[in-house]
Amino acid sequence: MKNILLVCSSCMSTNMFVLRMIKSAKLMNFEANIWSSGSGNLEENVYKADIILLGPQVRYLFDKVKKMVNSQKPVLLIDLKDYSSMNSKKILQECLTY
């Protein structure tokens, strides 16, 4: 079971993306606990995750998050095109490599 955190600014569109990812994970038989968090709650959520995904609107946090987890966990940027099209399957396939 992988714990996957999606970080965004306010969780509005990311909650929809999380729901898509959960559906895709079930279809792919990929066991995952997937949730989102606003950037304001980053510290209390980042340590619970195995993989951290940053939405396009918070890509500026990439270096900060990498330092927070001492580069011991993958921190991935979600491509704007994939985010806009809700391409959750592609993002999950990237998570499968970790």
Q: Which residue has the higher pLDDT, 38 or 5?
A: 5
Domain ranges of the chain: 2-95
Confidence of residue 35 (pLDDT cuts 50, 70, 90): very high
Residue 91's closest CA among 25, 36, 3, 31?
A: 25
- Strands in 1-98 per DSSP E: 2-8, 32-38, 51-54, 75-77
Residue with tokens 């729901």: 19
Annotated catalytic residue: which of 6, 7, 8, 18? 8
pLDDT over 90 at 43, yes or no:
no
pTM of structure: 0.92
pLDDT over 80 at 11, yes or no:
no
Active site residue 95: no
Residue 82's closest CA among 58, 61, 56, 60?
A: 56
Span 72-80, average pLDDT: 95
Domain 2-95 has CATH 3.40.50.2300: yes
